[in-house]
Amino acid sequence: MAKQTSHELKNKVVYQIFTRQHSKTSDFKGIIEDLDRIKSLGVDIVYLLPFHPIGEKDRKGSIGSPYAIYDYYAIDPLYGTLEDFKALVKEIHQRDMKIMIDIVFNHTSRDSILTQKHPEWFYKKPDGSFANRVGDWSDITDFDFLSHRAIWDYLIDVLKYWAQFVDGFRCDVAPLLPLDFWKEARVKVEQVNPNMIWLTESVHLGFIKYIRDMGYDAFSDSQMYEVFDVAYDYDVFDFMDDYLNGKDTLKRYLFELWRQEATYPKNFVKLRSFENHDQDRIAHKVGNKTKLIQMTALQFFLKGMPMIYAGQEHQVTKRPDLFEMDLVPWNKDESIEDLITKLSSIKKLDIMSKGTYHFVNTDSIAHLEYHLGNEKLIGIFNLENLSSIKVDLTDGKYLNILTNKLHEVKNGSLPLRNEPIIFHLK
């Protein structure tokens, strides 16, 4: 963990927005109009995908990927102007929320301002054409960080510029950049904004191995925590997918979550995200509303900082296209906003950031607990349709603070329903 990291980040809720897909106007003003609803969900941090102009050379799709950036200092005219962006920041702050923006420093578009001004800063093929190190990202070219110190200075200046306005950086594929770059960047950005939140998009374990086998550096989550406050949970993401696809057990997924407790620094913070712009919607993966409710409650109960991808609160099944116009199909009839609002309020309990965290029962069920002195927060998520479980509770009736219903324990057995259970005992 970065030494500055606050444990209170584990009480925060993030809301991810792809600006052009979020509203009918596809701009910052459309987000402003939705901020009251977003705030009502219990959101603390609004995170925007990149909003810069997109390169045209080798563009994917008719509009292109927001991760193929033409100019780090500019704003895509589709979204508005700098003044429109400042207005959005102001409106977010007035609602006592923070704003986090995407930082994409592994690469630029192949026709970016920087490839034109400083072609020597980038990787090239033997024939001299621009290239990227891995993957099918044909619309971008990678920086050659280790060959040109000037790249570091330029990009740190970009961070310092945006740090005037925003409260956090989500750093795209940050483990592929030199760790020393991020260390220096954090020190220098803190001179502008000492309270900046740093989120690393860590990468899947298999991808780390793949990159290293190619002879490049790729840093583990443990290494990234030297600089960053929060890391993606891609180290366990594949195990969740394997469980949902029937390739592995719930117990294995929960074991990998437990393993995090012994692997990372004591006060580590994980981003708990079941879907995002790169990953299919959780409603698509699950396909069963009862189980989706259980999974959503589990997402918020896991230790860390949950992130909602806009549309998740309406059980949207389609992930917005990254390269075309593809508006989120908002459907109020499928809304689970009330559930998310309640989960967000529970997330803000002190015990969820200060308590010790325990995996009590992982045999075909997720039974997790937080302990803080004599206080307990008990979460039971019936993902395998069990009829009852044994619990270490005195016989009697207990209030489910998520549903406001009573559940009775008899002879140490708790009957289960098709709804998540959260008991708060003091």
Helix, strand, coil distribution of the chain in percent, nearest 5 = 35, 20, 45
Written in H, E and C, the secondary structure of 89-153 is HHHHHHCCCEEEEEECCCEEECCCHHHHHCHHHECECCCCCECCCCCCCCCEEEECCCCCHHHHH
Tell me what the mean pLDDT of segment 10-26 comes to. 98
Report whether pLDDT(378) > 90: yes
Three-class DSSP category at 290: helix
Report whether pLDDT(24) > 70: yes
Backbone angles phi, psi at 358, to 5 degrees: -135, 140
**Helices and strands of the chain, counted as H and E runs:** 14, 18
Cα–Cα distance measured from residue 108 to residue 106, given in angstroms and rounded to the nearest whole number: 7
Residue 343: predicted pLDDT: 99
Binned at pLDDT 50, 70 and 90, residue 373 comes out as very high
Cα–Cα distance measured from residue 257 to residue 243, given in angstroms and rounded to the nearest whole number: 13
Residue 1: predicted pLDDT: 54
Question: Do 330 and 355 touch, CB atoms closer than 8 A?
Answer: no
Residue 132: predicted pLDDT: 85
pLDDT tens-place string over residues 139-173: 999 999 999 999 999 999 999 999 999 999 999 99
CATH number at 7-348:
3.20.20.80
Residue 263: predicted pLDDT: 94
pLDDT tens-place string over residues 202-212: 998 888 998 89
Tell me what the mean pLDDT of segment 60-78 comes to. 98
CA 304 to chain centre: 10
Read off the tokens for 295: 């999974």
Residue 287: predicted pLDDT: 86
Tell me what the mean pLDDT of segment 112-128 comes to. 93
Residue 18: predicted pLDDT: 99
Q: Mind giving me the DSSP string for 328-378?
A: ----GGG--HHHHHHHHHHHTSTHHHHSEEEEEE-SSSEEEEEEETTEEEE
Residue 2: predicted pLDDT: 67
Tell me what the mean pLDDT of segment 304-313 comes to. 99
Q: Which residue ranges make up each domain of the chain?
A: 7-348, 366-425
Residue 313: predicted pLDDT: 98
366-425: CATH superfamily: Golgi alpha-mannosidase II (2.60.40.1180)
Three-class DSSP category at 383: coil
Tell me what the mean pLDDT of segment 296-310 comes to. 99
Tell me what the mean pLDDT of segment 393-416 comes to. 98
Residue 129: predicted pLDDT: 86
CA angle 137, 276, 262 (to 5 degrees): 100
Residue 122: predicted pLDDT: 96
